[in-house]
Amino acid sequence: MELIFNDLSIHGQFHDLEAFRDAIGRVMTIRSTARRFGIQLQCHRNIGNAKVTPELTMPEVAHSLGKDKCRVLMQWLTQRGPFWEDAREHSCNDWLECNGEIVTDYAIGEAAYCLFQGIECSLVSMDPSRWLTSSLTVVWRENDRSCSITIPNYWDADTVKTVIEDRPVTLESWKGLESTAQSRCPDLTFSKDSFKPLDGLPFSRGTAEGLLFRLAVLNNLKNCFDEQGMFTPEGHQLYQKHFTGDKAWFSDSSDTEKVKFKADLTFRHPTNDGEFLLCTWHGKVKTPQLRVHFSWPIQANEPLYVVYVGPKITKR
């Protein structure tokens, strides 16, 4: 499932900063909700300069959110994305219109084109805006023919959460898991053979989904740092929930395992030829016993490498 922020839903409609703060807060809550399921809310870099009020642009009003929220918002819109235009599906020559407006080069046009191509895609709009209908119909005109398609459109986090939870599982193979993980977890750096240990194992949809959830947590955590390189409140919450306690999804190998299995826990560096990484930290799926090994510690300015997804290595 692809989620794209509707750039046309910011059209200078806010006449006071409090209303903007509430509206962008709802969008950021939707973004956080989707990320917990491994889905990234995509945006366009142009939103970073959108006209929010009749007089003020996004950078000028973002400061009203406070230092931390301003940083998170502007990093998303101008630096981290993901930005749909980097892998856009539709051409600037495509004629796409919605509600009598040409939506080529906008998120609505991209979402529609994705759906025309069989890619599941929905929009997230600002509330209030002139785009608050649960679906938007886009017409694609080409030569003398035309066709239309309807795009789901959301502006409430609870609705997004329900839709994601109710989606049918689409993972059908380990290769499908690999491609889905790489697309949904853009802030992780996977080694080229990280999923190869799964080859030959009987495929389990539930197990694949469990692995994907764990990779999504790592991807989220990689985004939860402040300007000082420390965990944000969301980062601390993720760490406490998934990295501490007897039933934690993630843990370090024991001292005994680090000695006995040191060679097995040492992997080729994903990007630096001739270098190796000792990756004792791992995510766990218990039935069957599968592991996700990754670099540690997780830091703001260093890649988070995923080097192994497969059967438990430290079997006694």
Residue ending a domain, among 162, 183, 218, is 162
Q: Residue 3 has what pLDDT?
A: 95
Q: How many domains does the chain have?
A: 2
Question: How confident is the model over 276-280, as a mean pLDDT?
Answer: 97
With cut-offs at 50, 70 and 90, classify the pLDDT of residue 266.
Answer: very high
Q: Residue 74 has what pLDDT?
A: 95
Q: Residue 155 has what pLDDT?
A: 97
Residues 185 and 251 both lie in one domain: yes
Question: How confident is the model over 8-15, as a mean pLDDT?
Answer: 96
With cut-offs at 50, 70 and 90, classify the pLDDT of residue 56.
Answer: very high
Question: How confident is the model over 270-293, as a mean pLDDT?
Answer: 94
With cut-offs at 50, 70 and 90, classify the pLDDT of residue 39.
Answer: confident
Give the bridge partners for 102, in sequence order. 97
User: Could you report the per-residue pLDDT of 195-216, keeping only the tens digit for each?
Assistant: 999 999 999 888 898 899 899 8
Residues 183 and 304 both lie in one domain: yes
Average predicted confidence (pLDDT) for the chain: 92
Residue ending a domain, among 162, 179, 213, is 162
With cut-offs at 50, 70 and 90, classify the pLDDT of residue 260.
Answer: very high
User: Could you report the per-residue pLDDT of 145-166, keeping only the tens digit for each?
Assistant: 788 999 999 999 999 989 987 7
Residues 118 and 237 both lie in one domain: no
Residues 276 and 187 both lie in one domain: yes
Q: Residue 168 has what pLDDT?
A: 62
Residue 219 lies in a domain: yes
Residue 281 lies in a domain: yes
* CA-based radius of gyration for the chain: 21
Q: Residue 14 has what pLDDT?
A: 96
Q: Residue 153 has what pLDDT?
A: 97
Q: Residue 171 has what pLDDT?
A: 82
Q: Residue 213 has what pLDDT?
A: 87
Residue ending a domain, among 128, 145, 162, is 162
Question: How confident is the model over 40-69, as a mean pLDDT?
Answer: 94
With cut-offs at 50, 70 and 90, classify the pLDDT of residue 300.
Answer: very high
Q: Which amino acid is at 180?
A: T
Q: Residue 316 has what pLDDT?
A: 65
Residues 18 and 148 both lie in one domain: yes
Residues 12 and 157 both lie in one domain: yes
Residues 153 and 231 both lie in one domain: no
Residues 223 and 134 both lie in one domain: no
Q: 187 or 295: whose pLDDT is higher?
A: 295
The yes-or-no verdict on residue 305 having pLDDT over 90 is yes
Backbone dihedral region of 81: left (phi > 0), alpha (psi from -120 to 50 degrees) or beta? left
With cut-offs at 50, 70 and 90, classify the pLDDT of residue 143.
Answer: confident
- Structural domain that includes position 284: 171-311
Q: Measured between alpha carbons, how far is 231 from 173 in angstroms, rounded to an integer?
A: 35
Q: Which amino acid is at 128?
A: P
User: Could you report the per-residue pLDDT of 80-124, keeping only the tens digit for each?
Assistant: 899 999 988 899 999 999 999 999 999 999 999 988 877 889 999
- The gap from C-alpha 192 to its chain's centroid, in whole angstroms, comes to 20
